Amino acid sequence: MSTKPDKPFALDHLILFLPSSESTPPTPLIPPSISANFTLTPGGLHADNLTANTLILLADGSYIELVCFNPGASSSAIEQHWWGGKHGRLRRGWTDWCLGSDVPVEELSAWLKSLGAQNDGVWKWDDAVKGGRKRPDGEQVRWSVVFPEKDDTGRGVRGLVPFFCVDETRREIRVPRDEVKTRHGCGVLGVLELTLMVGNEEILERVGKTFDALVGTGQATASEQRYRLARVVSETGLRGLGPDIVVKLATNERDRDMVGERGYAITDVVMGALADEREAGNDLRKLEGGAKDEEISDDQCVKGQRVRLDSGGTDYGGLWVQYV
């Protein structure tokens, strides 16, 4: 494939790392701020036995993947993992993001490789890698992924630029389409935006060149660059409201601490919910017969209001719900 796929890339999922619970098999330890506001779908142990997940399925077809490392995995194996590193067991917060494609993975991989070869400054992607996991019900899930090219750390720019996923089994096996599982107490339907904070102008310029080649020219202001992605399912009530990738330069001490030595960080993931549905009493909380202590209250569900869920001791880089 020498030309860009005809269909725009859709936001497939985001990776949020959590500690591991003490369950067998391992599962992420879900904080109350998440369990009180979202419907959780069991995931499973990945084929490499190094990570396990739980899913937050969204009505727009994307999902949040809550991931933990397997406590039984060796330290050396975790250190070599693409989300690992020397302190991989301690990883917390937003870690990566994925775009979906329905073109054959060989064609997608060839096109991604051509971007780096033909465009100076654009980051490169590696060859496709097969992946999979077994669901708790025994169903096997298979896919192929294309990751950004590694550097001498083994991770490169993972999280700064996306990886890609192509399903080998039906997508509905990996991402079930279920009205119950995609209905959440806080009312979210999909992702409105996520922010990539970068530490210097050089990274900012390379991100701009790479995203221009991937998804088209973004909208630039004095403080940010904004790129629009597609949704897997467009008819969700969020039409025209993202999902956007917002690229910002770290300009203060807090931002610079966030990007650290790595030079970038994923922060402030904002999900969209319809204020009218909560005001009308159509939310899942009311159907279940009562609010939970960590749940968003009715007086917060005002159009234009943005509510942060991961505050206090559960700061994962910014998990927000915005009512539209």
CATH of the domain at 266: 3.10.180.10
* Whether residue 197 sits in one domain with residue 161: no
The tokens describing 236, both together, are 């969700």
* Whether residue 209 sits in one domain with residue 168: no
pLDDT-based confidence at 67, cuts 50/70/90? Answer: very high
- Whether 161 is in a domain gets the answer yes
User: Does position 59 have pLDDT exceeding 90, yes or no?
Assistant: yes
* Whether residue 72 sits in one domain with residue 199: no
CB-side exposure of 203: number of CA atoms within 13 Å?
19
* Whether residue 205 sits in one domain with residue 135: no
* Whether residue 242 sits in one domain with residue 287: yes
Last residue of a domain, one of 151, 174, 197: 174
* Whether residue 166 sits in one domain with residue 22: yes
Q: What is the pTM of this model?
A: 0.91
Chain centre distance of CA 191: 9
* Whether residue 226 sits in one domain with residue 135: no
* Whether residue 196 sits in one domain with residue 318: yes
Mean pLDDT of the chain: 88
The tally of domains found in the chain comes to: 2
* Whether residue 116 sits in one domain with residue 192: no
Give whichever of 43-47, 110-114, 201-205, 318-322 has the largest mean pLDDT.
Answer: 318-322
Instruction: Write out the residue range of the structural domain in which residue 216 sits.
Output: 188-323
pLDDT given for residue 278 in this prediction: 58
* Whether residue 255 sits in one domain with residue 202: yes
pLDDT per residue as tens digits for the range 271-307: 999 997 755 444 544 444 444 567 888 888 889 899 9
* Whether residue 260 sits in one domain with residue 131: no
Per DSSP, the residues of 16-74 read EE--B-S-SS--B---HHHHTTS--EEEEEETTSSEEEEEEE-TTS-EEEEEEE-TTS-
- Whether 180 is in a domain gets the answer no
pLDDT-based confidence at 2, cuts 50/70/90? Answer: low
Alpha-carbon gap, residue 106 to 300, rounded angstroms? 47
Angle 249-125-14 from CA coordinates, rounded to 5°: 60
